[in-house]
Amino acid sequence: MRVLIFLLIGFAATASAAKNLEIFFIDTEGGQSTLVVSPSGEALLIDAGYAGYGGRDANRIAEVAKLAHVKKIKVFFLTHYHQDHGGGVKNLLEVLPVEAFWDHGAPADDAKSIASDYVKVRGNAPHTVYKPGDKVPIKELDVTVVAAANQHIDTPGEVNPFCAGLKPKNDESGENPQSGGLVVAFGKFRFGDLGDNLWNEELAMLCPQNHIGRVDLLLTPHHGTHVSPVADYAMSPRVVIMNNGPTKGGKPEAYQMWRGMQGLEDLWQLHFAMGGGKEGNSPDPFIANIDERCEGKYLRVTAHEDGSFTVYNSRNKYSKTYAPK
């Protein structure tokens, strides 16, 4: 009997100790910051939003980190040096310590000033220039870099039927195509963030083979400010999250492109896109911030090793669970 009791107590303790992956999509008003927290509590922060505004974006990151019981960032992953992604690093370091910095290396001409500021505030902290295929060291997670500085992961994949008729464009330059991208895997669950990569970079990762593979959750490339090639459909996300602001990103044509993907279950948004109207926005429960002047509400994803996950809206407390497939 005692043995049975001890076994039951041990099982209950193990069950209560079971933890999951949490991902917080933080409202930086059309900028970008995503906090990824492993089951053991190690934290990966992707981008830091804007500088200034009284430290608004850094304070929002710190508030979410506190909710997640995160006291330090193990790895800060900077996708690229534009102000809406890398401008807020100085403010971030005023509210949260960072152990190590990862970035794509030398900036393009349109981002040299912000890159210079970033290097100064980074100081002598451990620093890695990442490349496709690199693994970001976060316990219990498999975090793979899939894009960096115009280079792309070349892992063999399935032939992508959505590539037919798609061609590269001639007008892409500057810092956006240098953007880093990564895929976070936890058991069967996969989350993709391609940064601000544009049309040509997405084609390079997805055509003629899909080198990224399928994901369950996808953050829209470049805030939904451009229409991605339909080659992105091969990633087959069940849920797309748009990191738009009230007037930045969330373009109606980008929204319609994602909504037209067969198999997509839901599109969640950080903001109601003011220029989209009813037809260019998701229903109210799926939008974290409705008003142009908002409280900076976040979206949280809790993911499990079996591939199931739940999305929670901090504004209205609405949540939806997506069962394993």
Question: Model confidence over 157-208: pLDDT tens digits?
Answer: 999 999 999 999 998 999 999 999 999 999 999 999 999 999 999 999 999 9
Please indicate, yes or no, if residue 42 is contained in any of the structural domains.
yes
Rounded percentage of the chain residues whose pLDDT exceeds 90 = 93
Q: What is the mean pLDDT of residues 9-33?
A: 75
Burial of 134-144, coded b for 16+ CB within 10 Å and e otherwise, reads: bebebeebebb
- Residue 12 lies inside a defined structural domain of this protein: no
Strands 34-37 and 21-25: antiparallel
Cis amide prior to 208 (ω within 30 degrees): yes
As a whole number of angstroms, the distance between CA 108 and CA 127 comes to 19
The CATH code of the domain that includes 185 is: 3.60.15.10
The 10s digit of each residue's pLDDT in 96-110 is 999 999 999 999 999
Q: Which residues contact 62 (CB under 8 A, 6 or more apart)?
A: 95, 96
Q: Which of 202, 192, 198 is nearest to 163 (CA)?
A: 202
Quick check: is 43 in a domain? yes
Does residue 42 surpass a pLDDT of 60? yes
Identify whether the C-beta of residue 245 lies closer than 8 Å to the C-beta of residue 222.
no
CA distance 271 to 290: 6
Distance separating alpha carbons of residues 189 and 43, to the nearest angstrom: 17
Predicted confidence (pLDDT) per residue in 60-69, tens digit: 999 999 999 9
Q: Which domain holds residue 138?
A: 19-322
In a domain, 4, yes or no: no
Q: How far is residue 153 from each of residues 157, 164, 182, measured CA to CA in Å?
A: 11, 21, 10
What is the average pLDDT value for the chain, to the nearest integer?
94
The token pair at 34 is 């995503």
In the block, residue with structure tokens 């790895």: 75
Q: Give the separation between CA 296 and CA 26, rounded to whole angstroms.
A: 8
How many separate domains does the chain show?
1
Task: Report the SS3 class of residue 186.
Answer: strand
**How far is the C-alpha of 250 from the C-alpha of 39, rounded, in Å?**
31
Has residue 10 been placed in a domain? no
**Which residue matches tokens 């040299």?**
112
Instruction: Report yes or no on 175 lying in a domain.
Output: yes
Residue 13 counted as domain residue: no
